[in-house]
Amino acid sequence: MSGPLLFSALHTWARLEDDDLVSVGITAHAQFELGDIQYVGLRQVGSMVRKDEAFGEVESVKTACDVYAPCTGLVVAVNTELAVDPSTINRDPYGAGWMMRMRPSDPNEFRLLLDVAQYLAEVDQLAP
């Protein structure tokens, strides 16, 4: 069974899967703030990404922004369905809206991510 969702302060989530890969996407908060997502661009399979480095970009009716890796590792899969229907992220950010799967290179980095309560506290600090 997959592990719990963990979060980065840069509004990405990560979940350790049964195959020891990490699924990554943007949080519900991030997709809500962006609005209707119209485009998703992702790194290629085989790319190395570092923690807090952009691994993709999303464009919405409101803005465009980079999406940052929650940990360092090798991109082993990207969600090609998002090219066809990027709004999947709006409908299901923690399920079908996953963006990449990666093989983390530093398990300690992964363990330092925020749990849901810590992430929600971070989001609350952003509120006006």
Domains in the chain: ranges and CATH: 6-105 (2.40.50.100)
Closest CA to 54 of 70, 39, 66: 66
State the average pLDDT over residues 100-111.
90
pLDDT at 108: 84
Beta-strand ranges (E) seen in the chain are 6-7, 12-16, 22-26, 37-42, 48-49, 54-60, 64-68, 73-78, 100-104
pLDDT at 91: 96
pLDDT at 127: 57
pLDDT at 6: 96
pLDDT at 109: 87
The residue with greater pLDDT, 21 or 123, is 21
pLDDT tens-digit readout, 62-89: 899 999 999 999 999 999 999 999 999 9
Task: With a cut of 70, say whether residue 38 has pLDDT above it.
Answer: yes
Could you tell me the pTM of the whole model? 0.92
- In this structure, what token pair is assigned to residue 88? 């999947």
Residue 106: pLDDT band (50, 70, 90) is confident
By the 8 A CB rule, do 102 and 70 touch?
A: no
